[in-house]
Chains A and B, each alone.
Chain A
Amino acid sequence: MTFWTTPIGWTLLTVGQILLVTVVLLLTVAFLIYGDRKIFAGVQMRKGPNVVGPFGLLQSFADLGKFLIKELVVPAGADKFVFLLAPLISVTLALGSWAAMPLAPGWVISNINVGILYLFAVSSMGVYGIIMGGWASNSKYPFLGALRSAAQMVSYEVSIGFVIITVVLLSGSLNLTTITEKQAGGFWNWNIFGGAGLHNLPLAIVMIPMGVIFFISGLAETNRPPFDLPEAESELVAGYAIEYGSTPYMLFYLAETANIILMSGLMAILFLGGWQAPFPTAGLTAHWPLTLISLFGLFWLVLKTFFVFFMNAMVRAVVPRYRYDQLMRLGWKVFLPTSLVAVALVAGWRVYAPVIG
């Protein structure tokens, strides 16, 4: 094992891990786009994609081929450099945020102390891809879409920040692995139920609404319906993405889906226990090899992430689009005060409630 601790070995190992996570993530994105369309179709009693491959499973790959061989069109008045940089920034940030995600016990590319702040920072930078794309297109609808998107994402980041603070107060750490480890030992220890079994159960009154607020703010942050105002096709045609086609458009789409999965995964980690099973596993996994324990953890994280994603897709299919002033009202007048009060309540509980055993 000495080779893997030398600088060269370490670099090779890290690059290998990054490649592995990226490839698996891209495959997940491909199949989740298919799943999203199937769910959407199912709600509307359609069949959805069913032609390419068995049950249409290869639809996303057919779309990929189509995007790649289309001609790349840059509008005449566009700022060419920024126009092409925008989708690249979007996709880089969307994939880069996975570096700090604890995928299973011991499986994380970079176990940094400020993991959750890193994710928050990277997701708050995601707005630049959209705002640069909208501006560089040099056209009215994309610009309006970009402005909407900037205002929307900045607004909802505030409430996401406060919700994250409540979770951090419960866990006492900004490290995502530590946050997950603190929720071990059954679903009653998950942060959505107050984080420490019966003792903190009264906090569930605060934390369940926090989970809901996080979920809804996540929808707004990723520009998903019912908050897809930046690309509202009834008002802005396709918003910031109008002038894009071919590969740059695909990159935007890829970044959006990767961000949705990230938000689902973050919801799973912060509130639903991450890779912890919903029942005590100490006796069950005592004699298992490490790899099996990790795979077992990965299974639960993937299950929870897909569950949140499924809810995400159902919301998209069921809920009508918000009007812009309603969106702003919800963010600033409902979520912000609620989460601010929740921060005070959780902090008060942590100070005055008897210490957790």
Chain B
Amino acid sequence: MALQAIAFYLMAAVTLASALAVVSAKNPVHSVLFLIAAFFSAAGLFVLLGAEFLAMLLVVVYVGAVAVLFLFVVMMLDVDFAQLRQGFVQYMPLGGLIAGGLAIEMIIVSTTVATKGAARLNDTPMAMGKDPTAGMSNIEAIGRVLYTHYVYFFQAAGMVLLVAMIGAIVLTLRHKPGVKRQIIMDQVLRTPKTGMRMVSPKPGEGIDA
């Protein structure tokens, strides 16, 4: 247990320190890199909790895809640091309010969990008497509830994401007239017969195209 405690405090400290560095770093690219470090150590905390599936998903989705695109955009931005600093005081009260609200929620949740215990699978309506997840890996347990009791919510979340994606495409799609596009099929179907024309020009004359 001592080993786990050491690992927990180490990763929690790294998470907090990098989260602090995200907002305090001068260079926005450094901020994103610290954000990645925070994600990664949060994934480590998930592993400590025994939720290895969630940890891997966190790394795949947030670190592997979302943060790459983040970094992609931030690197191409030309950020004026002086202007950024100016806004700091202006947005301080609002930011503080949101952070305070989140902190209070977190405290309420963690005190509830500490006193009453976390909501277990057998508190859900799909529970069949005893703990149905006994002897299951947590991937299987998540799958069991996600695709049975919560399937509508799961599908609805998927629909929301799909609509958001289509919305983004519709907003940014432009059809420029007169763009020459490569049509692979035409190129593949090209044969010597269709792609070549035999002409025999007389000396001193050109060929009319």
Contacts and interface: CB of A to CB of B under 8 A. Distances in A.
Interface of A: 7, 79, 82, 112-114, 117-118, 120-122, 124-125, 127-128, 131-132, 135, 143, 146-147, 150-151, 153-154, 157, 161, 174, 325-326, 329
Interface in B102-122: none
Nearest to A134: B75
A323 B137 CA distance: 44
Given A117-B60, A128-B71, 16 more contacts: A79-B29, A113-B52, A114-B56, A118-B56, A121-B59, A121-B63, A124-B65, A128-B36, A147-B72, A150-B68, A153-B68, A154-B65, A154-B68, A157-B64, A157-B65, A325-B182
Minimum-distance CB pairs A-B, first 5:
A124-B64, A117-B56, A121-B59, A121-B60, A114-B56
A117 B53 contact: yes
A302 B36 CA distance: 35
B63 A114 contact: no
B139 A114 contact: yes
A125 B40 CA distance: 10
Nearest to B69: A154
Contacts of B27: 79
B63 A113 contact: no
B52 A125 contact: no
Contact of B63 (A112, A124, A151, A174): A124
Nearest to B67: A128
A335 to B, nearest CB: 14
A131 B56 contact: no
Contacts of B75: 131, 135, 143, 146-147
A330 to B, nearest CB: 10
B72 A150 contact: yes
B57 interface: yes
A120 B63 CA distance: 12
A219 to B, nearest CB: 19
A338 B30 CA distance: 38
A113 B139 contact: yes
B3 interface: yes
A121 B33 contact: no
A121 B56 contact: yes
Among B52, B59, B68, B75, max chain A CB count under 10 A is at: B68
A320 to B, nearest CB: 15
A231 B134 CA distance: 51
A325 B60 CA distance: 26
A301 to B, nearest CB: 23
A174 B52 CA distance: 12
A179 to B, nearest CB: 14
A112 B69 contact: no
Contacts of A128: 36, 68, 71
A147 B76 CA distance: 9
A150 B71 contact: yes
A112 B52 CA distance: 9
Contact of B33 (A82, A143, A154): A82
A174 to B, nearest CB: 6
Contacts of B30: 82
Given A128-B36, A135-B29, A114 B64 contact: no
A131 B57 contact: no
B182 A125 contact: no
A145 to B, nearest CB: 12
Given A124-B63, A135-B29, A117 B57 contact: yes
Contacts of B3: 7
A188 B139 CA distance: 29
15 contacts: A7-B3, A79-B27, A113-B52, A113-B137, A114-B56, A124-B59, A124-B65, A128-B68, A132-B33, A147-B75, A147-B76, A150-B68, A150-B72, A161-B60, A329-B184
A169 to B, nearest CB: 12
A132 B30 CA distance: 10
Contacts of B57: 117
A131 B68 contact: yes
A124 B182 CA distance: 30
Contacts of A329: 184
Given A114-B53, A118-B56, A127 B29 contact: no
Contacts of A79: 27, 29
A174 B139 contact: yes
A135 B53 CA distance: 32
A144 to B, nearest CB: 11
Contacts of A325: 182
Among A113, A147, A329, max chain B CB count under 10 A is at: A113
